[in-house]
Amino acid sequence: MSALLEVSGVSVSFDGFRAINNLSFSIGPAELRAVIGPNGAGKTTFMDIVTGKTRPDQGEILWGDRSRSLLKLNEAQIARAGIGRKFQRPTVFEDQSVADNLTLALKANRNPFAVLGWRPSNASEARVVELAAELGLADQIDRKAGELSHGQKQWLEIGMLLAQEPRLLLVDEPAAGMTLAEREQTTALLCRLAQTRAVVVVEHDMDFVRRLNCKVTVLHQGSVLAEGSLDRVTRNPDVIDVYLGR
């Protein structure tokens, strides 16, 4: 299986401090991956680099079937190329309904000229219903987003990203602040999504990572320290040292 995203030998420094140090990472087109690591390991910077927010000082990032260099693209072009990012705090339009939020996201998926004069069509309404069902929000579709629980807002925002049909979804700490039932639903959602696209989940909560039941990449000091199943990486003495701070 060839990679969808291939990060090779990437480094970035801030005022002489190497936040990302010769990092290599790759993910396939339909794969779920958890990225873990202690505070300051470089997880956020890694996502910033992949989404074009931060430019690396060296290295290469190749994307898609034609191995296009992401380093030549700006943030908006990278998003349009199919990389979606979910930040930790949900940012939905609280005064709009679930359906309206999803409709707006579908609209945002059109090119700037197509958006002029865009009206919801039967096809887009059907897609909104389909997305709501996929998110487990079918019975909430007419509710204002502001009335949803924290977990439901997170799913709605994931749905708004799905409206853009990303091939890679980067998700930052999805389980934070969720109830146990919401976490279980989130696990199921992420696993389902990863059947047809790449999903990278950055997470501190090891119980949640265990439930994802996927390959884990451990970052430390801006590099990959270990990779494999959660059981395997948590038995790795280097990983134990880093987490226990020895």
Ligand X SMILES: Nc1ncnc2c1ncn2[C@@H]1O[C@H](COP(=O)(O)OP(=O)(O)OP(=O)(O)O)[C@@H](O)[C@H]1O
Helices 122-135, 98-108: inter-axial angle, 10-degree rounding: 120
Nearer to ligand X, 41 or 216 (CB): 41
Closer to ligand X by Cβ: residue 14 or 94 = 14
Q: How far is the CB of 12 from ligand X (least distance, A)?
A: 9
212 burial (CB, 10 Å; 0-12 / 13-18 / 19+) is buried
Q: How far apart are CA 183 and CA 209, in angstroms?
A: 11
Verify binding: residue 14, ligand X, rule CB under 6 A. Answer: yes
Residue 40 engages ligand X in binding (rule: CB under 6 A): yes
Residue 84 region by backbone torsions, left for phi larger than 0, else alpha for psi between -120 and 50, else beta: beta
Q: Which of 10, 45, 151, 187 binds ligand X (CB under 6 A)?
A: 45
| Contact status: 9 vs ligand X (CB under 6 A) | no
Does 87 bind ligand X (CB under 6 A)? Our answer is no
Stretch that binds ligand X, among 43-51, 73-81, 88-96, 183-191 (CB under 6 A): 43-51
By CB under 6 A, residue 39 contacts ligand X: yes
Region of 21-29, 32-40, 59-67, 91-99 interacting with ligand X (CB under 6 A): 32-40
Whole-angstrom Cα distance, residue 185 to residue 188?
5
44 touching ligand X, by CB under 6 A? yes
Query: Judged by CB under 6 A, does residue 19 bind ligand X?
Result: yes
Residue 232 contacts residue 51 (beta carbons within 8 Å): no
N-terminal to C-terminal alpha carbon distance within the chain: 38
| Min CB(173)–ligand X separation in Å | 9
What are the backbone dihedrals phi and psi of residue 239, each rounded to the nearest 5 degrees, phi first? Answer: -65, -40
Coil, helix or strand for 29?
Answer: coil
- Residue type, position 15, single letter: D
In the complex with ligand X, which residue's Cβ is closer, 19 or 163? Answer: 19
In the complex, the smallest distance separating the C-beta of residue 19 from ligand X, rounded to whole angstroms, is: 3
Question: Measured from the CB of residue 158, what is the shortest distance to ligand X in angstroms?
Answer: 20
Q: What is the 3-state secondary structure (H, E, C) of 144-185?
A: EHHHCCHHHHHHHHHHHHHCCCCCEEEEECCCCCCCHHHHHH
* 149 lies in the binding site for ligand X (CB under 6 A): no
C-beta closer to ligand X: residue 124 or 154: 154
Q: Under the criterion CB under 6 A, does residue 85 sit at the interface with ligand X?
A: no
Residues in contact with ligand X by the rule CB under 6 A: 14, 17, 19, 37, 39-45
